[in-house]
Chains A and B, each alone.
Chain A
Amino acid sequence: MMDGAVAPLLAGVIVVEISRGVAASHAGRLLSTLGAETVLVEPPEGNPLRREPPFLPPANEASALFAFLAAGKKSITSDLNTPAGRAGLSALLSTADVLVHDLRPDERARLDLEEQTLRTRYPKLIDVSVLPFGAVGPKADWQAEEINLIHASGEGFLLPNGLAAELFPERPPLKVYGHFAEYQGGVVAALGALSALVGRDQDGAEAVDVSVQDATLAVGAFALQRFGDGSLEHRSTRSFKYGGVLECADGYVELLTLEERQWRGLIELMGRPDWMLDPALSDSLERSRRGAEINRVVRAWARELRTADIVARAQALGVPMAKYASPAEVLSGPHERARDLFQPVEIPGAGRLPVLSAPFHVDGAALPLSAGPPRLGEHQHLLTARRHRERPAAVAEVS
């Protein structure tokens, strides 16, 4: 740390993570990137995400998913089915602030890690459960993967919209790429852990129950609000009336003019064609009514243009427009570079690669990624260290 720099937000916080899924893993990662020490407890064969695609070329050994989610964490292996494994975990938990996990209720009982047991043994520990449908309720023991969860939370039913919905009205609804819902679960679990940490000083530690379905529904709140207003949203009818996804000569852009001055900017951008100067189109409701007609012309116009040119001219005129950037374009983007969004770390089996840190700056800078993902059991020494630390504390409590 540089002289004069202030401490990371979560300096001194210790998190223990027992995860198999993306949601719990993302929670541990967010807390670690914010400055906590996150210790990933893995079974002897390793965390299952180590075996999830995509794998990093050219060796195709290391999982990109695991590397992203575990960057900066520490790893110990422990077979929780054995007394020795559970003793090791116990040593870790006795000095930890947070346990984030995705153990099902039946597994918790079998491993002697139920909420009440943890409360008694580790009175200061915040126990954060992150499950597909949560730990409580009729679906608590239901099975789910990302595709089930994004549909259980309502957003799946509403996708695609815009151009894709127009082109393929008969196709099944579409999920968001990757692990959208599970990442929401991770953010909410981190929020729950942190809220309980803040509250711990006043009211003592408490347990936190997070459901990926709840978390994803929370970010879809607007659709439920619309239902209360009397509108049942549907992917075929919620598209913007004009604008949206436009195909250009070398890719796609997004165009969205919600305000009057933005529409006027679009007229300039398109070179003041006669049809746009029709006084009737100065009324936003009339534009909505004639959206299909506007789109035909706008789409034909965009098709001949190059994305970089059109976006630069649009933003200069105050017209909200962005290129649909490919991952490679994001990685080499000048803006992302200026903000240090990606930071090079060593990934075992893949070499030094840029990994996304966190989507925010704190105290005027990107959050530093301290390391890449750990090798399996790389920090096994922590177990012995923690056992030594644990004893005097236990003695002190007894005396």
Chain B
Amino acid sequence: MKPLSGVRIADFTLHAAGPFCTHILSQLGAECIKIESAARPDIFRKPHPVYGRMGPASFDQVASNKLSVRINLKDAKGIALAKKLVAASDLVCESFRPGVMQRLGLGYAALAALKPSVVMVSVSSSGQSGPDSHFAGYAPLFGAWGALGYLTGYADGPPVEMRHVMDHSVGMNAAMAAVAAVYRLRRTGQGGHVDVSAREVACSLVGEALLFAAAGGNPARIGNDHLRMAPHGVFRTREEDRWLTIAVRTDDEWRSLVKLIDAPPLLSDPRFQTAASRHTHRQVLHGEIEHWTMTREAGEAERRLQAAGIAAHVSCNMEDIAHDRHLRERGTVVDVEDTTGRQRAALKAPIRFSKSDVGMTRGTPRLGEDEDYVFGELLGLSREDRQSLMDQQVIY
């Protein structure tokens, strides 16, 4: 069993943030029915020349593990069909610009009138209400609006763009709030509308800095520095473009580090006597640490530091991640087969349960692959009805 088995999702989401939400819910056991049309296919079905992809993706993480049906939402009969699907579902997820679902006749009020217990999850750049709710946006803009972009960067450099991690952070928050709403639904029968704002997710990732600013503080870009710890940073190693992260939290760890790198003069250096003083003189201190890391291979240094109880890790690229023994043993990184039959690394939902076995059971669906089950079995449409709707480009 999976924890969310028995939960059915009518999934109207497109692009990254919304589909990631429903992808995670599907791995937790929800049955996720992805709604697209040939007129409006999701981005992974189209070429993406900027990424050098000239055809549809052979594997798309956020689309995988979902069932696929075609519904043309530009047609009134398509809307009627979508409503039938909603009536047979527990959860409706969508990521259109605010107002679009209402225009389609699929807004929360309309769907709640149809099915009072429906839980709807809307994901948008700025939320369903407020003066900026109509704004167009992508991940870097969410980060910019939400102060996360402003605060990230080298102290003497510009703000930094947030990329896909921003979209998927939004999706993960949406999944979490969705399950909270499912919990209430199961306890009380009460539905509801969850309205996730991407820029607010960015804010929530710097909530402490926003509070500090509210009290009159001035949070600023600090690169890889920490407000308290030193040494703390990303250090060069003997290997080209192979970096090592180190964070020293306590005096004991500081002494262990000095012993490990065999640099006793650091212990008597007046600049490095207290944690506060080490922090003040961190630039010089970091230079001293790099003398040692520059002579080492990153992996070897990492293991020696960990053995001494010091927080350290190599800066991993995706090749490291794909083959990482720890991540493989945890089942975080798994192999899946793409639509060409090739094996490749993918990610299982990042939660291990003691009893439930979560994860993907199928890859990226073909457009309309599951209509026999969804339109035929679930909604009870006859072959003739379906053919007629296809002829009218409603199922299209």
Could you pull out 26 A-B pairs where Cβ atoms are within 8 angstroms?
Answer: A64-B215, A65-B208, A138-B329, A156-B245, A160-B160, A177-B222, A178-B208, A187-B173, A202-B5, A206-B356, A210-B350, A210-B352, A211-B330, A214-B330, A221-B164, A245-B158, A245-B160, A254-B143, A327-B219, A330-B147, A331-B210, A339-B127, A339-B129, A353-B211, A355-B211, A361-B127
Which chain A positions have C-beta within 8 A of B148? Answer: 176-177, 180
Q: 6 additional contacts, CB 8 Å, given A177-B222, A191-B179?
A: A67-B211, A188-B176, A191-B175, A253-B144, A331-B214, A362-B195
CB of B349 within 8 A of CB of A256, answer no
Whole-angstrom CA separation of A144 from B51 in the bound complex: 33
Asked if B209 CB lies within 8 Å of chain A CBs, one says yes
Instruction: Tell which of B210, B355, B356 touches A330, judged by Cβ atoms closer than 8 Å.
Output: B210
Number of interface residues of A (CB under 8 A): 154
Whole-angstrom CA separation of A90 from B165 in the bound complex: 39
Given A177-B152, A225-B61, A225-B346: A203 and B24 interface contact (C-beta under 8 Å)? no
Which chain A positions have C-beta within 8 A of B127? Answer: 339, 360-361
Asked if A224 CB lies within 8 Å of chain B CBs, one says yes
Given A148-B313, A244-B161, A322-B145: A176 and B152 interface contact (C-beta under 8 Å)? yes
Whole-angstrom CA separation of A177 from B268 in the bound complex: 33
CB of A172 within 8 A of CB of B224, answer yes
Which chain A positions have C-beta within 8 A of B187? Answer: 12
CB of B224 within 8 A of CB of A225, answer no
Q: Which secondary structure dominates where chain B touches chain A?
A: mixed
Which chain B positions have C-beta within 8 A of A353? Answer: 211, 214-215
Q: Shortest Cβ distance from B43 into chain A, in angstroms?
A: 10
The residues in B between 5 and 51 inclusive whose CB is less than 8 angstroms from any CB of A are 5-7, 16, 20, 24, 28-29, 49-51
Please indicate which of the listed interface residues A220, A232, A336 has the most CB atoms of chain B within 10 Å of its own CB.
Answer: A336
Please indicate which of the listed interface residues B61, B128, B136 has the most CB atoms of chain A within 10 Å of its own CB.
Answer: B136
Given A53-B228, A335-B131: A187 and B353 interface contact (C-beta under 8 Å)? no
CB of A164 within 8 A of CB of B147, answer no
CB of B351 within 8 A of CB of A210, answer yes
Asked if A359 CB lies within 8 Å of chain B CBs, one says yes
CB of B205 within 8 A of CB of A178, answer yes
Please indicate which of the listed interface residues A138, A157, A256, A354 has the most CB atoms of chain B within 10 Å of its own CB.
Answer: A157
* Interface window among A77-85, A105-113, A129-137, A273-281: A129-137
Q: When each residue 186-209 of chain B gets 1 if its CB lies under 8 Å from chain A and 0 otherwise, what string results? A: 111010111111001101111111
Given A54-B208, A136-B330, A218-B349: A154 and B317 interface contact (C-beta under 8 Å)? yes
* Interface window among B67-75, B319-327, B388-396: B319-327
Whose C-beta in chain A lies nearest to the C-beta of B349?
A218
CB of A54 within 8 A of CB of B176, answer no
Q: When each residue 314-354 of chain B gets 1 if its CB lies under 8 Å from chain A and 0 otherwise, what string results? A: 11111111100111011011000010000011110111111
Whole-angstrom CA separation of A359 from B147 in the bound complex: 14
The residues in B between 116 and 166 inclusive whose CB is less than 8 angstroms from any CB of A are 126-133, 135-138, 140-141, 143-154, 157-165
Whose C-beta in chain B lies nearest to the C-beta of A254?
B144
* Interface window among B76-84, B304-312, B367-375, B376-384: B304-312
CB of B176 within 8 A of CB of A177, answer no
CB of B351 within 8 A of CB of A208, answer yes
Whole-angstrom CA separation of A133 from B177 in the bound complex: 24
Asked if A192 CB lies within 8 Å of chain B CBs, one says yes
CB of A161 within 8 A of CB of B330, answer no
Q: Shortest Cβ distance from B212 into chain A, in angstroms?
A: 4
Please indicate which of the listed interface residues A64, A154, A191 has the most CB atoms of chain B within 10 Å of its own CB.
Answer: A191
Whole-angstrom CA separation of A139 from B313 in the bound complex: 11
Which chain B positions have C-beta within 8 A of A9? Answer: 177, 180-181, 183-184, 192
Q: When each residue 203-237 of chain A gets 1 if its CB lies under 8 Å from chain B and 0 otherwise, what string results? A: 11011111101111111111111111101111000
CB of B215 within 8 A of CB of A359, answer no
Whose C-beta in chain A lies nearest to the C-beta of B123?
A360
Q: Shortest Cβ distance from B129 into chain A, in angstroms?
A: 6
Whole-angstrom CA separation of A164 from B159 in the bound complex: 7
Instruction: Tell which of B217, B311, B355 touches A56, judged by Cβ atoms closer than 8 Å.
Output: B217
Please indicate which of the listed interface residues B138, B175, B208, B223 has the most CB atoms of chain A within 10 Å of its own CB.
Answer: B208
CB of A219 within 8 A of CB of B60, answer no
CB of A220 within 8 A of CB of B213, answer no
CB of A194 within 8 A of CB of B309, answer no
CB of B217 within 8 A of CB of A177, answer no
Whole-angstrom CA separation of A86 from B125 in the bound complex: 46
Which chain A positions have C-beta within 8 A of B320? Answer: 154
Please indicate which of the listed interface residues B131, B183, B196 has the most CB atoms of chain A within 10 Å of its own CB.
Answer: B183
The residues in A between 353 and 398 inclusive whose CB is less than 8 angstroms from any CB of B are 353-356, 358-364
